[in-house]
Amino acid sequence: MALNRIWMIWAQGFAGLIIVMYFACFGEDPSFLGSFSILGHLVFDTVRGQDLTSNYYGLTWGEVGATVRLVVLAIAMSLVIGMAAAFVRFEIRRPGVTWLFEIISVAMESIPEPLHVVIAVVVALYLMVGQGWHNLPLFPEGFPNWSDTWIPAAALALPGAFYVDRILHMELQDEITKPYVTTAFAKGLSRNHVVYKHVFANAGSTVLKQMPVVVSIVVSSALFAEFFMDYQGALYQFTDAIGWNMVTGTYQSFEKPFHLPLYQPGLVFVIGALAVGIWVSLRLFFECIYVIVYGGNR
């Protein structure tokens, strides 16, 4: 079972790379045969080491590391915040607290994932401009460091955190009513022993199985976080890769938002392949954790 899931993840990743490669070239020549022609020239030039600057200009290993750091930190924060919220809801069994968490969870999950980033930007601008919090580590100038990563990562983490909270809370409520828990209490086992050693462990298996959803939420919104928060990682270069026509600059009089001569199919493919690679790697990581902790047949 575990081996089949791992092969499925690899197959999905390979299919994603093929799709990204084709549509990267489709953006320069929007025809079926034309895009394959562009693809052939791109591969041929890359193998020969020619036109690398024009095809891949604008991306560095430091920017790749910054994007990986942002995504990994956001996923870790999603898991920690979501599990902590579910734990509080489970332990503090007061109707008012339960309803408060439920209302917040439903409200936050009703907002599309990229809008969490926009809301975070608006709140940050209000604090910086309206309240004088000028030292907020946001909108860094140049290459972002660790301190510049926390706020964008938190904005990315919120949708996944509320998803983990809802899934884990539902599993805990279901697990606590199962016969083995009643039997354990009847035998005199302490609540802490039963809850923390068995209930939380069994409910945690569902969270691990749902982590690919959290990974997809974070990766799909990372471009918005980098662009709106001026976090200059690898995905931030996507606007340059597609020939984005800014308000000022050489092509300011161009009538469309994209200027085709600036389009870099190689860079579009590399950035898309990076997103696919992060998505596949993190899914494989959580699959391996699940197999190690719970076995491969569950």
In angstroms, the CA 157 to CA 78 distance is: 5
Confidence of residue 265 (pLDDT cuts 50, 70, 90): confident
- For residue 58, which of 180, 230, 239 has the smallest C-alpha distance? 239
Answer whether residue 102 shows pLDDT above 80.
no
The answer to whether the Cα torsion of 166, 161, 125, 64 is positive or negative is negative
Q: Residue 244 forms beta bridges with which residues?
A: 258
Residue % of the chain over a pLDDT of 90: 9
Convert the pLDDT of each residue in 244-260 to its tens digit: 655 444 444 444 555 55
Q: Does residue 221 contact residue 73 with C-beta atoms inside 8 Å?
A: no
* Average pLDDT over every residue of 251-274: 66
Answer whether residue 45 shows pLDDT above 50.
yes
Backbone angles phi, psi at 228, to 5 degrees: -75, -25
In angstroms, the CA 225 to CA 237 distance is: 13
* Average pLDDT over every residue of 85-101: 78
* Average pLDDT over every residue of 190-218: 85
The size of the chain, in residues, is: 298
CA angle 153, 290, 150 (to 5 degrees): 10
What pLDDT does residue 68 have?
Answer: 92
CATH class held by domain 2-294: mainly alpha
* Average pLDDT over every residue of 283-288: 88
CA distances from 184 to 37, 91, 190 (A): 67, 19, 8
User: Which of helix, strand or coil describes residue 254?
Assistant: coil
* Average pLDDT over every residue of 107-112: 76
What pLDDT does residue 76 have?
Answer: 94
In angstroms, the CA 131 to CA 125 distance is: 9
What pLDDT does residue 223 have?
Answer: 86
- For residue 161, which of 78, 80, 77, 75 has the smallest C-alpha distance? 78
What pLDDT does residue 179 have?
Answer: 87
Convert the pLDDT of each residue in 114-163 to its tens digit: 778 888 888 887 887 777 777 777 777 777 888 889 889 998 998 889 88
In angstroms, the CA 74 to CA 244 distance is: 27
- For residue 273, which of 89, 4, 17 has the smallest C-alpha distance? 17
What pLDDT does residue 248 have?
Answer: 44
Q: What is the DSSP string of 66-130?
A: HHHHHHHHHHHHHHHHHHHHHHHHHHS--HHHHHHHHHHHHHHHTS-HHHHHHHHHHHHHIIIII
* Average pLDDT over every residue of 226-231: 86
For the chain, give the mean pLDDT. Answer: 79
